[in-house]
């Protein structure tokens, strides 16, 4: 499958799996983390652990590949002070997370609609990378 066909598949998969994924559990999680509704399975404890071992601070740029609505990069950026680039293929995923991400991180977050395999940003900009539930 070529890149474009793969991206179309990713968009359709997002629409099928997550567009209506707004369950009571999702909203409960959102109120607990004070932010967005995830569409993966990373727990708050796991995200906090990632933040504690990432060794990044406000001088650093964190890349979250396959971020969906912005989880777990949002928590890692919030806890470490790092700036965040949150990348996913479907524009709708970014749109759904935009308000919560901006409320949590303000100008320290940039959402990019793109394919993590062919990023339009050079690797050298980033100090750390996370991806959660992307290869499943
Ligand atoms: C299970 S969801 C996890 C989303 C988010 N990390 C979370 O935990 O809430 C997997 C995400 O990976 C994205 N994805 C899959 N392949 C990708 C690729 N090549 N580049 C960027 N994102 C990708 C999908 O669109 C989907 O939003």
Q: Which of 5-9, 15-19, 58-62, 69-73 has the lowest mean pLDDT?
A: 15-19
pLDDT of residue 2: 84
Residue 35 confidence class, pLDDT cut points 50, 70, 90: low
Residue 112: which H helix or E strand, with range? strand 109-113
Protein residue closest via CA to atom 3 of ligand 1: 40
- Rounded distance, CA 36 to CA 106, Å? 14
Q: Which atom belonging to ligand 1 lies closest to the Cα atom of 6?
A: 19
The predicted structure's pLDDT at residue 19: 65
pLDDT for residue 22: 63
Pocket probe for ligand 1: among 120, 134, 135, 136, the residue whose CB has the most ligand atoms within 8 Å is: 134
Structural domains in the chain plus CATH codes: 3-130 (3.40.50.150)
Q: Which residue has the higher pLDDT, 2 or 34?
A: 2
15: closest CA among 122, 120, 88? 88
Find the residues whose C-beta lies inside 6 A of ligand 1. 10, 14, 38-40, 42, 65-68, 71, 87-90, 93, 115-117, 132-134
- Burial class from Cβ neighbours inside 10 Å (0-12, 13-18, 19+) for residue 70 reads buried
pLDDT digits (tens, 9 = 90+) for 55-95: 999 999 999 999 999 999 999 999 999 999 999 999 999 99
pLDDT at 132 > cutoff 80: yes
4, 33, 88: residue to mutate for ligand 1 pocket, most atoms within 8 A of CB? 88
């Amino acid at each position: 499958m070529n890149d474009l066909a793969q991206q179309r598949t990713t968009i359709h998969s997002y629409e099928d799996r997550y567009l209506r994924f707004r369950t009571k559990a999702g909203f409960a999680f959102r109120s607990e983390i004070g932010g967005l509704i995830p569409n993966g399975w990373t727990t708050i404890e796991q995200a906090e652990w990632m933040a504690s071992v990432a060794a990044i601070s406000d001088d650093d740029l964190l890349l979250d590949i396959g971020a969906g609505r912005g989880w777990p990069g949002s928590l890692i950026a919030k806890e470490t002070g790092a700036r965040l680039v949150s990348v996913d293929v479907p524009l709708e995923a970014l749109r759904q997370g935009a308000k919560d991400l901006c409320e949590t991180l303000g100008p320290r977050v940039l959402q990019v609609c793109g394919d993590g395999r062919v990023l339009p940003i050079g690797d050298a900009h980033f100090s750390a990378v996370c991806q959660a539930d992307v290869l499943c």
